[in-house]
Amino acid sequence: MTTVLIADDSETILLLMRTRLELAGYEVETAADGQEVVDRIDPGSDQSPDLLLLDAMMPRKSGIDALRELRAAGVKTPALIVSAHQTPDDADAPADLEISGYLTKPIDFDALLAAIAELTAKKAA
């Protein structure tokens, strides 16, 4: 079962994304900010989620900062960033963090689901 970890500071958005992803057959974990994401992921264990879907802007710690910490700790999980901008600049989606793609809100779920399928199939294969 492919697990996706979603992080967003809005409960409504988390509910929306959980509903859509579960309907598409994924298992979903949620986090409310970047710190929870970092706490949730243990670099050594193989119980980690198969994909990260992170909101760029969150209180306490942003998705970008959380990803930076995870990458520094050697976590290779593919990550998608939800950015506030139509076309992100380097602040939203830095090239050196191995971000597999970015989305803007409102989320195009057809495109998102297609991307998740592609990224997690690659991992399984």
Partner 1 sequence: MIGVGRLIVQRQDYENAIERSYQREMAARVQLAEGTNPARARATIRREEANRAHLRDSISGDTRDTVILVGAGLIAGLLGALLLFVGLVTAMRRPLEALVAAAGRLAGGDRSARVEVGGVSEVATLGKAFNEMAAELELEASERDRLDRMKDEFVLTASHELRSPLTSVQGFAELLMMDRDSLTPRQVETVEIILDNCRHLVRLLNDLLDLARSDAGRLSIRPQPTRLGPLMEDVVRTMRAQTEASHQSLNERIDPDLPLVNVEADRIRQILLNLITNAHEYSPEGASIQLGARVADNAVVISVTDNGPGIPAAQLEHIFERFVRGDAGLTQRVGGTGLGLAISKSLVELHGGTISVVSEVGRGSTFTVVLPIAGPAAVEATPPGPPAISEAGRR
- Distance of alpha carbon 114 from alpha carbon 76, whole angstroms: 20
Q: Does 121 bind partner 1 (CB under 8 A)?
A: no
Residue 32 near partner 1 by CB under 8 A: no
By CB under 8 A, tell whether 108 contacts partner 1: yes
Rounded Cα gap, residues 30 and 117, in angstroms:
19
Residue whose pair of structure tokens reads 């999980």 in the numeric block: 77
φ, ψ (nearest 5 deg) of residue 7: -125, 125
- Residue 10 near partner 1 by CB under 8 A: yes
For binding to partner 1 (CB under 8 A), which residues are involved? 10, 12-13, 16-17, 19-20, 23, 57, 80-81, 84-90, 93, 95, 99-112, 114-115
